Amino acid sequence: MSRFPKQKLIIEKTKKKINDKKLNKDMIGSSICLKNLALIKSNEAMSSDYIIEQLMENSNELKPYYMKSLSYYRNGNPEMAFKYMTEALDNKNMRNFVSILKKLDNMDAGAMIEQIDTFNSSLIAERETFNKKLADRNSLIFTVIVTINIFALLLNFAVVVVFMDAINMLNVIW
């Protein structure tokens, strides 16, 4: 039993957030790589095996997941390959990306590019929403701090005026 369970939970949540950010960045890189592959090899048929291998070579954080998935795929179990990635990377964006990867064998290059563009536009919209919320929060914090400072300044001014009046009254008495 840990002496500091709340602190440990906070640390674990922070690590998960950092890891999710790294995975999302790598996933964005993978989607760009996938689009580039589709553009370059638009005249050739590409297998999921080849595409996953290329994504693995151009990835950092997702490399072990691609490797395991590729292993399942090459052993004749493509459903398990994508199921593994979906379960191992429990993230909405990753589930969407894996759903695109599942369809690779049944898509031509044009459809793949369209799917990736749609996916990337949803990621961009999500990032913009997050940045807007962050800017709104920072603006609110700044406004509260400025309001408190103005209130303190006015209070200080009132105290000085009252104190000056008190000194004047004391001078009249003496």
pLDDT digits (tens, 9 = 90+) for 33-89: 988 888 888 777 778 888 889 999 988 888 998 999 999 989 988 889 888 888 888
* CB neighbours of residue 3 within 10 Å: 6
Kindly indicate the confidence band of residue 4, based on its pLDDT and cuts at 50, 70 and 90: low
Burial of residue 46 (number of CB atoms within 10 Å: 0-12, 13-18, 19+): buried
Q: Answer whether residue 1 shows pLDDT above 60.
A: no
| Residues 6+ positions from 60 with CB-CB distance below 8 Å | 26
Mapping DSSP to helix (H, G, I), strand (E, B) and coil, where does residue 46 land? coil
Kindly indicate the confidence band of residue 159, based on its pLDDT and cuts at 50, 70 and 90: confident
In this predicted structure, what is the pLDDT of residue 128? 92
Residue pair 67/54 in contact (Cβ under 8 Å)? The answer is no
* CB neighbours of residue 80 within 10 Å: 15
Say what the pTM is: 0.69
Distance CA 47, CA 43 (A): 13
- Show me where the domains of the chain are located: 5-124
DSSP 61: T
Structure tokens at 163: 């104190």
Q: Answer whether residue 142 shows pLDDT above 90.
A: yes
Structure tokens at 57: 């070579």
pLDDT tens-digit map of 112-134: 889 889 988 988 888 899 899 99
pLDDT tens-digit map of 87-114: 888 778 888 888 888 888 777 778 888 9
